[in-house]
Structures are given as structure tokens and as C-alpha cells.
Structure 1
Amino acid sequence: MTGPVTIASIVEGDGEVSALPVLLRRIAGALSCWDVRIPPPRRVPRSRLVARGGVENAVLQASYQLTGAGGILLLIDSDDDCPATLGPELLRRAREARGDREISVVLACREFEAWFLAAAESLSGHRGLADPLLPPPNPEGIRGAKEWLSARSPTARGTGRPWTRRHWPRSSTWSRPVRRRRPSTSSGVTSNGCCWAAEHLGR
């Protein structure tokens, strides 16, 4: 009998500390995977992560949360950096620190909150948001995703509303790899949402 799959994670912002575990559990639930352990993410400022020795130390610390099957997920915003350049570099450095563990680097296009804009329809009428609430044409091109939501509800504070598959964000950096459950690259680097989590939870 195998133990739970542990997903240790590293994030850059306070919002992701609380939001990412919820997101990963919703992916697990949508894939009917219940034996999943998701410890609280480690928050490390982006400037420290990309600095010399930063991602290496963060990965080393996160690896202590792993007790069996699973791996480490690093999620940061791409901001103005090119994911195809920054992602492989961070992965290379992370693997130098813990090459014996499965590691994935996920770069959200622009910012993590853009995924909530892509899923805006699933939030319609919830916690004061407009109903209907349609996603913007290009969610990942918007600067200030949190401000976009706030402008549509002064009382919005996030949501605990569960997603089903039909509620998954309609975003180019989310829907394709998650629905496929397998990443399109063997390197472990992606700018396409949480495909690593979907891959391991979908086994």
C-alpha cells in the first residue's frame, strides 16, 4: 500500500500561500485523487529566489517536507521575463540542489491572479461579484488582475467556491496541460499552469 503523494511548494507572494493549496486540492478532487498531502507553501520573495543561491536554498528547505512519493513545485509570476529563458535556468539550479527529487518550475504568464480572471465566469454572483461575470478577452495580458476583480466588487475577498472541470480557467497557460494531465515537455519546465500537479495526481 503506497502512502500519500506530497506536493511541497515554493511561492513568492502572500496570496499564493493561501491560494495555491486550495488550487491543488481542487485539481486533485477533479481528478478523483484523495490521498494527497499539501503542506503550507514556503514563501520566498522573487528577488531572493532568482538571486545566486536563492532557489537552491528554497528547494533544499522544501525538500524536508517530503516523506515519500511526490515532489517540489515552484510557482512564480513571469512578470516581464521570458518563461522560456527563466524557467529552464531556475529548473537547472533547483536540480543542482536536489537532483534526487522530482521538481517542476511553473511560471504563470504575467501573474498568478490572471488565472482567476480566466475563470471569472465560475465566480459570477459570488461574494458580491457581478452576475454574469465574463472573463476579459486576454486575461494574461491584463496588468493588475486583483484590481480588475476589485473593480467589479468592492466586497470581493476571494472565493471558496469549488471548481468542476467546466469551471477550470479558460486560459492558454492553464487549460491545455491540466486537461491533458501530461505536460508537453520532459524537462519539468512550463509556463502552462499546474500541469506537473495534474500529471502526478492523474496517475
Structure 2
Amino acid sequence: MAKAYLVVEGHGEVEAARNLVIRLWADLGLPHAVWGAPKRGKALNTRAGVLQACELLRSERDCAFALLLRDEDDGCPATAGPETAAWVAAASLPFPVAVVLAHREFEAWFLPCIHLMAGREIRPDVRIAEGTTCPEDPEGIRDVKGWLSKRFPPGKIYKPTLDQLKLTQWIDFGVLRASGARSFRTLENALRFLAAPSALKIYPPPRP
């Protein structure tokens, strides 16, 4: 059976990103797809790292299409996205691939929904402080992980491997969509592309 594959960098994102993508795929009403176990890439902000990730995907004989998802901490996704897509294109994979860069971090997608997460138990004795609300520019915050930690109980910090999946499960797509988060909109467009690829096999289109 043909499968879709996801490539991420962080340990916490392996299950969190998979949960996000599978739920969002269904929320968008896209045709049924089976997502294989996510793959972890290294240095996905470099050509060498992306090409290595492409070889991991190529090794999966049942791969029908793939999504490469990483954080774009300080750069501009509008520039880095097509550049990364060009590196993928250079690998000449036989199936469609979409590239999405979360600006600035995957965790920025939590912030528009943070009021829905506040006060709920993430793990024993760990909750985001009640009354926490979304900052004015959630995608403009550098170090969202630190921002979250400051709203955890004293002595506790946000840990992606323990907390990222649970918070991802609490994302409300309607609320996140209404926030206008541009990198989330890119993710939605990327999934639509993978569900019905055009003559181009790469999203976003690499710049000449």
C-alpha cells in the first residue's frame, strides 16, 4: 500500500507533527491517505541535510508523496521555502514533495489556541497558567519554548518530548486558521498540493 511520509528534525515533532498532519488532512476533507512512521532529518536548513533526507524518502519503496517540515527560526519562510524546495528538486525524487517552514517554531501554532489550553493538565502537576492569552504577534516571537516555560508552574519547563504532542492534540484548527498565521496557511496549501499534485512535483515552486 502506498504511503505518505513526513520528515521532521526534533524528537518531539515526530509524533506531534504526525498528529497535526493527520488531523489537518482530515479537517481539510482530503482523500484518505496512510501516513507512515515519520523520519527524522538532520540539518534540514542546509542543502546537504535536505538531500540526505531525500535519500531516506527514496529508500521507502511505498512512498507516494512526502512532507518536509522544519522550523525557520530567524530567516524568512517566503525566501527559505523556495530555496529548500530547490534542494529537494535537485534530488529528482519520483514522487511529489512539499516543504513547509514553521515561522518561527512549530510551537508558534499553539499560541492562537493558548487560551483553550490554559489550565488543562499537560502532564502531572504541569499546566499553562490560567488566563494566558495569545500574544499580539505569535509568529514574531523568538523562543516560543521559553515563552511557554514562563507560563508553566514554578520549577517546571516546557519539554517537547513530553509536552508537544499533548498541546498539538489541543490545537483548534478553526481558531488557528482565523488567527491568520501565514506558515499554517502554507501548511494547509502544502497538504492540498500533495492531495492533488500538478505537473510540478515540488511545493512551493522553486525559484529559478
TM-score, normalised with respect to structure 2: 0.72
2-structure distance, mates of 1:194, 1:75? 12
1:139 aligned residue: 138
2-structure distance, mates of 1:100, 1:199? 16
Compare relative contact order (CA 8 Å, sep 6+) and give the higher one, 1 or 2.
Answer: 2
Task: Give the one of 58, 71, 74 matched to 1:77.
Answer: 71
Q: Measured at CA, do residues 60 and 80 of structure 1 come closer, stay the same or move farther in structure 2, by a change above 3 Å?
A: same
Asked if 1 retains the 8 angstrom alpha-carbon contact of 2:47 and 2:87, the reply is no
Cα displacement string for residues 120-150 of structure 1 (whole angstroms, at most 9, x for unaligned residues): 1331322122334311111111122122222
Amino acid of the structure 2 residue aligned with 1:62: L
Asked if 2 retains the 8 angstrom alpha-carbon contact of 1:106 and 1:194, the reply is no
1-structure distance, mates of 2:75, 2:12? 21
2-structure distance, mates of 1:122, 1:55? 35
Of residues 30-39 and 105-114 in structure 1, the stretch that sits farther from structure 2 once superposed is 30-39
1:111 aligned residue: 105
| Residue 172 (1) aligns with residue 171 (2) | no
Residue 174 of structure 2 aligns to a residue whose secondary structure is helix
Q: Measured at CA, do residues 194 and 75 of structure 1 come closer, stay the same or move farther in structure 2, by a change above 3 Å?
A: farther
Q: Measured at CA, do residues 166 and 132 of structure 1 come closer, stay the same or move farther in structure 2, by a change above 3 Å?
A: farther
**Aligned positions of 1:1-203 closer than 5 A:** 6-33=3-30, 35-46=32-43, 49-65=44-60, 67=62, 70-127=64-121, 128-154=127-153, 157-158=163-164, 159=166, 161-168=169-176, 170-174=179-183, 177=185, 192-201=186-195
Give the superposition deviation at 1:93. Answer: 1.8
Q: Which structure 2 residue ranges, 5 or more long, are not aligned?
A: 122-126, 198-208
2-structure distance, mates of 1:116, 1:7? 24
Amino acid of the structure 2 residue aligned with 1:130: A
Residue 193 of structure 1 aligns to a residue whose secondary structure is helix
Give the superposition deviation at 1:34. Answer: 7.4
Q: Measured at CA, do residues 18 and 165 of structure 1 come closer, stay the same or move farther in structure 2, by a change above 3 Å?
A: closer
Give the superposition deviation at 1:20. Answer: 0.4
Give the superposition deviation at 1:83. Answer: 2.4
Between the two proteins, the alignment pairs up a number of residues equal to: 182
2-structure distance, mates of 1:14, 1:94? 22
When the two chains are superposed, the root-mean-square deviation of aligned CA atoms in Å is 2.8
Asked if 1 retains the 8 angstrom alpha-carbon contact of 2:67 and 2:97, the reply is yes
Q: Which structure 1 residue ranges, 5 or more long, are not aligned?
A: 178-191
* Identity within the alignment, %: 31
Asked if 2 retains the 8 angstrom alpha-carbon contact of 1:139 and 1:171, the reply is no
2-structure distance, mates of 1:96, 1:23? 28
